[in-house]
Structure 1
């Protein structure tokens, strides 16, 4: 995470504040997704929550952001989540 552009939003690998700028949010979400989720692997909602609570207390909000930003795909019944694609984390990307 050093010199990655997200260190001002995270401390000890936890989100301390969610940024307002979409680009900054995406950088954080890509960072977490790349660490926690493998492309093509199915995860239950419970598994996703278990991973995300380590980064942010409101793991449900974080989970929704990962879906809304296109990093995870959710089944219609919300029982299965899958990482849609590999998306490289780079500070200051325009997503």
Structure 2
């Protein structure tokens, strides 16, 4: 199997995508000896199957299944860092994936979202804020309600205008 680069998985996946190769690997994995596992393909096909399995790192030199190939492949992949803080509640595309159960975390998440949707001093009508919220969630009404209820976004009594709640000046 390739030992470097991002393409380490390709030979392994290619091998398992081939029905004949996958069948031979399965037989070897289940304990069949090489002669039994390779009895159905023609001699030229056998050579191809064995070479494909070797290139993928799925068999040893003595033609036994090497189940550790998967562990090696996983170990060679870079670890993907897990998001921390409120980022845990956002999908990779920045859309809202869920709400925290912790009130403090929920408020922190809503604060981040409010600042993504509105700039200080900006006023939007309902259609405008809904359009921006739609980029973050499918349930625009719930998110808009949370932003208002948490006093991060204020709206007119008529519900026709929305703006960020002004931050209080720092106390001295």
TM-score (norm. length: structure 2): 0.46
User: Which consecutive unaligned segments of at least 5 residues does structure 2 have?
Assistant: 1-81
User: Which consecutive unaligned segments of at least 5 residues does structure 1 have?
Assistant: 88-95
Q: Which of structures 1 and 2 has the larger relative contact order (alpha carbons within 8 angstroms, sep 6+)? A: 1
Q: CA deviation at 1:4?
A: 5.4
Q: CA deviation at 1:36?
A: 2.1
Query: Which runs of structure 1 show a deviation greater than 3 angstroms over 4 or more consecutive aligned residues?
Result: none
Match of 2:146 in 1: 65
2:129 equivalent among 45, 48, 52: 48
* Structure of greater Rg: 2
Question: In the TM superposition, what whole-angstrom CA distance separates every residue of 1:22-73 from its partner, at most 9, and x where no partner exists?
Answer: 1111111111112221122211011111111111110110001100111111
1:22 equivalent among 103, 107, 111: 103
How many pairs does the alignment contain? 86
Native 8 Å contact 1:39 1:86 kept in 2: no
1:34 equivalent among 115, 120, 135: 115
Higher mean C-alpha displacement, 61-70 vs 5-14: 5-14
Q: Which has the higher helix share?
A: 2
